[in-house]
């Protein structure tokens, strides 16, 4: 909890952490309305999956140029610009009148989210280096906290009864707090590093990390996008409970990330990844019982399991020797965020052709694969 106290007691750390929360407030508010968007537009799961794919496409569009832009204008300024663009983009998906306009809106939303994601993780990496303080995991905890706030917002659905207005309120909240704190990080720039000419070998340490990031964040994306539908169509939960799986997932992910920096220091990176993947497997088993309450508990456990894996990957990726922090973070963010967005698309087709239960069985198998990867990592470390 030391890193959490650090963030809450110092505006220099709270400012960047709130950017993490902001991104998930926006994304989570979109996510809780996915079932109603699907119903109102009259599209099936596979078509919805295609629309969500445009989120991923937006990330792929910005991924090759993000690090160059960040280095040119400064990581602090890039982060502040990114969050403004994300707020603008967030307004359109929930008011799209048809499939094509939804796809275009999600393309823009994905591009701005991807740029902000890379910027904010690079920002925290640079501040950690400069101040010799660790708060990456806790910052990701704020990302999860943003999801908690968005999940709590699901209880306002019947009160507001207007998803466009709901998103506008979320945007105003995000902009107001960022306006107060953005000066704390706006002038941060990436520290220069000594590096040779480009060599693929510099990126070799990132490859396996990227694969793990793809799988883990793909699972996160699936829960964000499909947990509501699972509770609605498989567990037959009432409308007021549709957001409970997402909320439980975010609450326990937040808790795990606030504890993550200290736990990682005690047991090491490989063991914490193994422990997290094991917990997520148990969570998926509970989800697959299809019982409403056990499924909600399962989503929560899965959030706890995944909570510290991705922050660890970003920290490592931003400190690879001979690679600029923005490039390392962009690689992890690109692979992970593409998993976050592509995963639900693939699962959408599985759900349409077979069932949502099979989709979540696939996710459980992916968690088992991550657990197996930790044994390979442990073996390589010994060698």
Q: What is the CATH number of the domain that holds 246?
A: 1.20.1250.20
Residue by residue, DSSP assigns 296-319 as HHHHHHHHHHHTTHHHHHHHHHTT
Whether 195 maps to a domain, the answer reads no
Supply the range of the domain harboring residue 46. Answer: 2-187+206-382
Residue 50 in domain: yes
Closest CA to 212 of 375, 79, 55, 2: 375
Residues in the chain: 383
**Inside any domain, residue 146:** yes
Q: Please tell me the predicted confidence (pLDDT) of residue 198.
A: 45
Task: Assess if residue 304 is contained within a domain.
Answer: yes
DSSP state of 155: G
**pTM of the predicted model, to two decimals?**
0.75
- Compute the C-alpha angle 182/187/188, nearest 5°: 100
Q: Are 367 and 280 in contact (CB under 8 A)?
A: yes
- Total domain count for the chain? 1
CA angle, 380 then 257 then 368, to 5°: 45
Pairwise CA distance, residues 96 & 323, whole Å: 41
| Structural domain includes residue 200 | no
> Any idea what the Cα angle at residue 271 is, between residues 270 and 276, rounded to 5°?
100
pLDDT digits (tens, 9 = 90+) for 304-345: 998 878 877 777 766 666 666 667 777 777 787 777 767 777
Residues of the chain whose pLDDT is less than 50? 196-198
pLDDT (0 to 100) of residue 380: 56
For residue 201, the model assigns a pLDDT of 59
192 assigned to some structural domain: no
Determine the pLDDT at residue 379: 67
Residue 197 domain-assigned (yes or no): no
Predicted confidence at residue 383, as pLDDT, reads: 53
Whether residue 196 lies inside any domain: the answer is no
Dist. CA 323–CA 1, nearest whole Å: 30
CA atoms of 97 and 85, how far apart (whole Å): 22
């Amino acid at each position: 909890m030391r890193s959490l106290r650090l963030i809450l007691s110092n505006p220099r750390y709270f400012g960047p952490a709130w950017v993490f929360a902001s991104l998930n407030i926006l994304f989570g508010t979109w996510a809780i309305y996915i079932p109603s968007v699907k119903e109102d537009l009259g599209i099936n799961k596979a078509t919805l999956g295609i629309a969500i794919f445009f989120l991923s496409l937006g990330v792929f569009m910005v991924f090759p140029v993000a690090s160059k832009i960040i280095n040119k204008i400064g990581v602090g300024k890039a982060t502040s610009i990114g969050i403004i663009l994300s707020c603008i983009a967030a307004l359109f998906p929930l008011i799209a009148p048809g499939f094509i306009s939804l796809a275009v809106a999600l393309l823009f939303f994905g591009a701005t989210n991807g740029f902000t994601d890379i910027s904010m993780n690079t920002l925290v990496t640079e501040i950690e280096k400069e101040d010799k303080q660790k708060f990456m995991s806790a910052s990701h905890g704020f990302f999860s906290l943003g999801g908690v706030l968005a999940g709590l917002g699901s209880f306002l659905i019947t009160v507001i009864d207007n998803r466009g207005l709901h998103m506008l309120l979320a945007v105003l909240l995000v902009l107001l707090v960022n306006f107060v704190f953005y000066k704390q990080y706006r002038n941060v720039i990436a520290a220069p590093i000594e590096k040779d000419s480009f060599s693929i070998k510099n990126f070799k340490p990132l490859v396996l990390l990227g694969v793990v990031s793809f799988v883990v964040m793909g699972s996160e994306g699936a829960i964000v996008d499909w947990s509501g539908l699972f509770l609605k169509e498989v567990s037959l939960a009432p409308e007021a409970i549709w957001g409970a799986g997402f909320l439980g997932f975010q609450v326990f992910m937040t808790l795990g990330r606030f504890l993550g920096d200290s736990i990682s220091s005690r047991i090491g990176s490989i063991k914490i990844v193994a422990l997290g993947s094991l917990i997520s497997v148990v969570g998926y088993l509970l989800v697959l019982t299809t019982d409403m309450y056990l499924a909600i508990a399962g989503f929560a456990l899965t959030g706890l399991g995944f909570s510290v894996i991705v922050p660890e990957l970003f920290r490592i990726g931003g400190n690879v020797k001979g690679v600029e922090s923005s490039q390392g973070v962009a690689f992890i963010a690109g692979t992970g965020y593409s998993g976050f967005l592509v995963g639900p698309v693939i699962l959408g087709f599985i759900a349409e052709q077979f069932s949502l239960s099979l989709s979540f069985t696939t996710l459980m198998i992916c968690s088992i694969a991550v657990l197996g990867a930790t044994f390979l990592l442990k073996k390589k470390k010994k060698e």
